Amino acid sequence: MALKTLNRRNKKDLKWPKIIIAILSTTGIVDTGSITLKNWGLFSSLSCPGIQNGCETVLNSPWGTLFENNQINIPLSLAGFITYLSILVFTLILSLNLISPKEKLNKFLWWLIFLISCASSTFSLLLINIMFFKIQAYCFFCILSAILSFSIFIVSIIGAKFESREPMIFRGLIVAISVLLGGLIWSSNVDPSNAINVESPTENVSPIITTSSSPQKVKFAKYLSENNIVMYSAYWCPHCHDQKQLFGKEAVKELKIVECAKDGKDNEYELCQTKGINGFPSWEINGQIISGTRDLNELATKTYYQGDLNF
């Protein structure tokens, strides 16, 4: 009904949708760009509103990385950055009136904005579902990105002034279904519950750490070990796994970690009992025991770490 109303209006090009899309996409660039730079160690730590460690938990989860190996780390936020940047470039071309609203290129650019925002909105919906039901943590920046994607999608429908709703619905559905299927396959592949692979399934060991470590995290882990700061853990403890994920697999190798579960592999159950460990994870810092998953910056403060805090 809304589309029919738009079609009855004059053919004058609407300016306000382009202005709004430009503002929204610029906000998205700042949002995803900040996350990407922090992931690469080029940006200071982000202050995330909401639940403590929520952003760290989400962004350092397996779903926070698009691709990684020993040399390359491509965070998922980089894909979001490229998406918003593309939309902004297309919108600026339309706004500068370099092409007539009647030309095919004009319509093509509007189609690109519509389909890209449709794909982004679909993927954002999947990520929000993963965040709340898989990771079970809250990330303000991720929710903001989802809101931006949906907003651009809605405004693009108005700004494009599609002559017929059928092609719009058909193409939008094709893109949404394709992105959803691809996203589900990717999510399943990176899900730690599907990726855990130990040499001997009879041994009670912790899940594999799937996140990578920045050089700053590795140096911090070495500092903790050199100063006899110990992490007490249990193989079955999800919060212990979250704590290790914050460090990343390279940094975890440098930590002093004591297995406290009585049936865990290479456990030091008696030592844990002697230390009075009754919660996991627990950190022993200068003879004092503190329990709970800790943000790396908080650990750095408690341990008087003077190195680079750009984790």
User: Residue 151: which of 63, 50, 26, 1 has the closest Cα?
Assistant: 26
Which tens digits make up the pLDDT trace of 68-115?
655 567 889 999 999 999 999 999 999 987 777 677 888 999 999 999
Which tens digits make up the pLDDT trace of 143-191?
999 999 999 999 999 998 888 889 999 999 999 999 999 999 998 887 7
pTM of the model: 0.66
- pLDDT value of residue 28: 97
**DSSP code of residue 162:** -
Q: What are 283's strand-pairing partners? A: 231, 290
Residues whose CB is less than 8 angstroms from the CB of residue 171 and which lie 6 or more positions away in sequence, other chains included: 111, 115
pLDDT of residue 14 exceeding 60, the answer is yes
- pLDDT value of residue 60: 72
Which tens digits make up the pLDDT trace of 15-47?
899 999 999 999 999 999 998 887 776 665 666
Q: What gap in Å lies between CA 309 and CA 255, rounded to an integer?
A: 17
What mean pLDDT is reported for the chain?
Answer: 85
Q: What are 75's strand-pairing partners? A: 65
Which tens digits make up the pLDDT trace of 267-280?
999 999 999 887 88
Phi and psi (nearest 5°) for 288?
A: -105, 140
User: Residue 225: which of 199, 247, 194 has the closest Cα?
Assistant: 247
Q: What gap in Å lies between CA 149 and CA 147, rounded to an integer?
A: 5
The end-to-end CA distance of the chain, in Å, is: 51
Burial class (CB in 10 A: 0-12, 13-18, 19+), 134: middle
Phi and psi (nearest 5°) for 293?
A: -65, 130
Residue type at position 49: P
What percent of the chain shows pLDDT beyond 90? Answer: 51
**How crowded is residue 261: how many other Cβ atoms within 10 Å of its Cβ?**
19
Burial class (CB in 10 A: 0-12, 13-18, 19+), 189: exposed
Query: Mind listing the domains of the chain with CATH numbers?
Result: 2-194 (1.20.1440.130), 215-302 (3.40.30.10)
What percent of the chain shows pLDDT beyond 70? Answer: 85
Q: 3-class SS at 208?
A: coil
